[in-house]
Every structure is written in structure tokens, then in C-alpha cells.
């Protein structure tokens, strides 16, 4: 656009899979109109996976969107003194242990009080990293009520390096979760995931026409009475992947308000002591346990582990106590 300075951006598609490219750009950069977004896309200034697309192109999860937009006042992300548990930090990135209940970045209904607000309070220098207003250095996300390991880029080079690792699936991700039912020792779920046909806020493993491949592995850690503690490893990074896959094979995550059992009290009719514990659960019992990746500055491989949070530890202890009696 003549006379305007441009600024670059890059991000990986996650929750916006299935949406039009021009709509995503316009919503991500409120300072430009949808008309301007369409112009930038048609001119090849904004690309998907390095390719020119039409404004109507519907993006897929893990697509890598790059480009430039006219320089304008940025989204004002306000720093807030939100506690952040830092597990590792160097000049290129920091790895945090996100607490449950914390939204990662601002969105409608969550304009403040997010991890992003806390990040720029503690590390103001990363405010513009990644080029997306309100998402300083954020390469990937966890659901609000999922706890655990997240990596955040501190520089543009680190952001691109980490985003490429996620895109090429070279980052290893391990989760811990409590699920309903009796689980086999090991398992493999290979079901595509896409937007739910009637509820656009949900994902589904049944909408095969617009789904993307998704692969989840699990290993049983401990089997209790109708509840199991499981280690998950995800080969892909689809939205709500573990929650959707677990529900699809009949073993939803305990406490999941979206994909969980609708009437769990009936499930535990024969195990009233277990039900007394389960009914106190306030969120999905899912934790991002380990993350293994190459450091952007040295390319050395590291593995970072986040301990299980207090509510999940207490839940585990209560199940152990019942099993011991």
C-alpha cells in the first residue's frame, strides 16, 4: 500500500481451522478492514505455507501464515502482575508451567487477566514478537483449563524457529490425564478431527469431509475403579485433540465440560466413593507434562517437565486412598 510502512508477522493456525483467510486476518489485526485484508492476500503479501491463496481460502490446522500489514497503532495489551511459573529461560525463549484456569491470550470475554498480560509485565521486550497483537511470543496454546508446559519465543528468530518445529512435528508433547473407564495398557487413536457439524465451538472426530489427520498414543499409568491415569503422546496438534480423541473411543477426560460424560453420577452408581471424589472436580483433569524441542539459539535438544498441579495430585491421592482400603 503506497506511502505506508509495513510490519511482518507469522503464526500457526490452531483454533481457527476451517475459517476464511481474510476473516482471520481482519480479526487478528483490528486496525485493518476486511477489504484491506483481501487486497493484501490477493497481492501475495499475505501467504499460507509460502503460497498465494484467495481471500476465501479456508485454512487448516498447522498452516503457517506469514505476511505484512500496513503499520498502524497496535492492539494495546496491558501488562498485569500475573504470576508466571518459569521452568526454563535463556535469551531465545522461556518455558512456563501454565496454571489451570488461565486464558493464554485476550479474546472476546477475556480481554484482560491472560497469560499474555502477565508475559509483557514480566518480559516487556517480547510484546511485539510474532507480529500478532495480543499474542506476545506465543507459538502454541493450551486450553484455559489445561495446565502445564508451554514455550514462548523471546525474539523473532526464535519465534520462526519454534513455529517451524511445530509445523514439522519435531516437537514431542506428553500429557497426563485422568479418564473414565478401564483402559488397556497401550493404545493408538488415529481419527481425523475437524469442526463439529452443528456446534462451531466444538471439535469432532466424526466430520470427515473437512477434518485433518490426528494421531494420539497412550500408555496406562494406574488403573483405579472406573478411572485411569494415562500418559498421552500426540503426534499432531489439533484443537482439543486429546479431549476429542479420548471421548471418541469412550474414555473422556474426567471433568471435561464439553466432551465429557453428561451424567457422570450414573456412571459411578456402583462406586459411590469414587463419585464423591469426582463430583468435586472443577475442570478437565488434563496436564501438559513434558515438552521436548530444539533450542532456537543453539539447536540443542532439551526436555522440560512440569509437575502435576495440586488439584490433580489431590485427586490422585484420594483415588489411592480408596484403592488402599
Residues 69, 57: Cα–Cα separation, whole Å: 18
Q: What residues pair up with 151 in beta bridges, in sequence order?
A: 95
Query: CB–CB of 59/17 below 8 Å?
Result: yes
Residues 241, 140: Cα–Cα separation, whole Å: 14
143 carries an active-site annotation:
yes
* H/E segment holding residue 117: helix 115-122
Look at the block and give the residue holding cell 495398557: 185
Look at the block and give the residue holding cell 523473532: 156
Torsion angles phi and psi, residue 180, rounded to 5: -80, 145
Quote the cell numbers at residue 250: 469412550
Residues 172, 80: Cα–Cα separation, whole Å: 31
Helices 21-28 & 34-42 angle (0-180, nearest 10): 120
CA quadruple 171, 228, 276, 241: dihedral, nearest 10: 40
Give Cα separations from 267 to 178, 208, 325 (angstroms).
15, 29, 21
Residues 125, 136: Cα–Cα separation, whole Å: 9
Residues 295, 301: Cα–Cα separation, whole Å: 6
Q: Say whether 124 sits in a helix, a strand or coil.
A: helix
The total of other beta-carbon atoms located within 10 Å of residue 83's CB is 8
Query: CB–CB of 311/100 below 8 Å?
Result: yes
Residues 105, 119: Cα–Cα separation, whole Å: 10
Catalytic residue among 16, 22, 63, 143: 143
Q: Where in the sequence numbering do the catalytic residues fall?
A: 143
Amino acid at each position: 500500500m503506497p506511502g505506508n510502512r509495513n510490519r511482518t508477522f507469522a503464526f500457526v493456525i490452531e483454533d481457527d481451522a476451517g475459517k476464511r483467510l481474510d476473516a482471520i486476518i481482519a480479526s487478528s489485526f483490528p486496525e485493518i478492514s476486511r477489504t484491506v485484508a483481501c487486497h493484501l492476500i490477493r497481492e501475495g503479501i499475505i501467504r499460507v505455507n509460502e503460497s498465494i491463496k484467495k481471500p476465501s481460502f479456508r485454512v487448516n490446522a498447522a498452516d503457517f501464515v506469514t505476511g505484512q500489514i500496513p503499520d498502524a497503532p497496535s492492539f494495546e495489551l496491558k501488562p498485569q502482575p500475573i504470576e508466571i511459573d518459569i521452568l526454563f529461560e535463556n535469551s531465545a525463549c522461556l518455558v512456563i508451567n501454565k496454571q489451570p484456569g488461565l486464558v493464554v491470550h485476550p479474546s472476546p470475554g477475556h480481554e484482560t487477566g491472560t497469560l499474555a498480560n502477565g508475559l509483557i509485565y514480566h518480559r516487556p521486550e517480547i510484546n511485539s514478537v510474532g507480529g500478532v497483537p495480543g499474542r506476545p511470543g506465543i507459538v502454541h496454546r493450551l486450553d484455559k483449563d489445561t495446565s502445564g508446559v508451554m514455550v514462548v519465543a523471546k525474539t523473532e528468530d526464535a519465534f520462526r524457529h519454534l513455529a517451524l518445529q511445530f509445523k514439522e512435528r519435531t516437537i514431542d508433547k506428553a500429557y497426563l490425564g485422568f479418564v473414565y473407564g478401564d483402559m488397556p495398557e497401550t493404545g493408538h487413536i488415529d481419527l481425523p478431527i475437524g469442526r463439529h457439524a452443528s456446534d462451531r465451538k466444538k471439535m469432532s472426530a466424526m466430520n470427515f469431509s473437512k477434518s485433518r489427520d490426528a494421531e494420539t498414543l497412550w500408555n496406562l499409568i494406574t488403573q483405579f475403579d472406573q478411572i485411569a491415569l494415562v500418559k498421552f503422546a500426540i503426534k499432531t496438534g489439533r484443537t482439543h485433540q486429546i479431549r476429542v480423541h479420548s471421548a471418541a473411543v469412550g474414555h473422556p477426560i474426567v471433568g471435561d465440560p464439553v466432551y465429557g460424560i453428561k451424567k457422570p453420577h450414573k456412571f459411578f452408581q456402583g462406586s459411590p466413593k469414587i463419585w464423591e471424589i469426582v463430583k468435586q472436580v472443577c475442570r478437565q483433569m488434563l496436564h501438559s507434562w513434558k515438552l521436548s524441542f530444539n533450542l532456537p539459539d543453539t539447536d540443542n535438544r532439551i526436555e522440560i517437565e512440569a509437575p502435576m498441579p495440586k488439584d490433580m495430585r489431590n485427586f490422585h491421592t484420594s483415588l489411592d486412598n480408596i484403592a488402599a482400603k
